[in-house]
Amino acid sequence: MSTLSALHGVRSVLVSNLFVKLPVPKSSELSNHTIIVTGANTGLGFEASAHLSRLGVGKLIMAVRTPAKGDEARKKLLKLTGQPDSSIEVWPIDMDSYDSIKTFAARASQLPRLDGVLANAGIMTEHFSLSEGNEKTLNVNVISTFLLYLLLLPKMRESVQQTGYACRFVIPNSALHYIVPLAELEPTNPSIIGRLNDPEKANMGGRYPLSKLLVIYAVREFAERSSASGKGLCIINTPNPSFCKSNLAREAQGSRGFRVAEKLLARSTEEGSRVLVHGLLAGPETNGQYLSDCHVETPARHVTRDWGKQVQKKFFNELLKQLEMIQPGISSNI
**pLDDT tens, residue by residue, 92-144:** 999 999 999 999 999 999 999 999 999 999 999 999 999 999 999 999 999 99
Q: What is the pLDDT of residue 250?
A: 55
Q: What is the pLDDT of residue 319?
A: 98
Cα–Cα dist 274/277, whole Å: 5
**Where is mean pLDDT largest: 25-34, 254-263, 270-279?**
270-279
On the question of pLDDT at 321 being above 70, the answer is yes
Confidence tier at 3 by pLDDT (50, 70, 90): low
Q: State the catalytic residue, choosing from 208, 217, 290, 314.
A: 208
Q: Which domain holds residue 222?
A: 3-18+26-324
268, part of any domain = yes
330, part of any domain = no
- Clarify whether 290 is annotated catalytic: no
178, part of any domain = yes
95, part of any domain = yes
Domain of residue 266, CATH code: 3.40.50.720
232, part of any domain = yes
Question: Average pLDDT, stretch 269-296?
Answer: 96
Dihedral-angle region of residue 50 (phi above 0 means left; psi in -120 to 50 means alpha; beta otherwise): alpha
332, part of any domain = no
Strand partners, 237: 170
Q: pTM (2 decimals)?
A: 0.93
291, part of any domain = yes
How many domains does the chain fold into? 1
Q: State the catalytic residue, choosing from 212, 217, 245, 290.
A: 212
- Clarify whether 208 is annotated catalytic: yes
Q: Are 206 and 179 in contact (CB under 8 A)?
A: no
Cα–Cα dist 304/2, whole Å: 12
Could you say which DSSP state residue 85 is in? G
14, part of any domain = yes
Q: How far is CA 160 from each of CA 163, 167, 179, 219, rounded to the nearest angstrom?
A: 5, 7, 37, 19
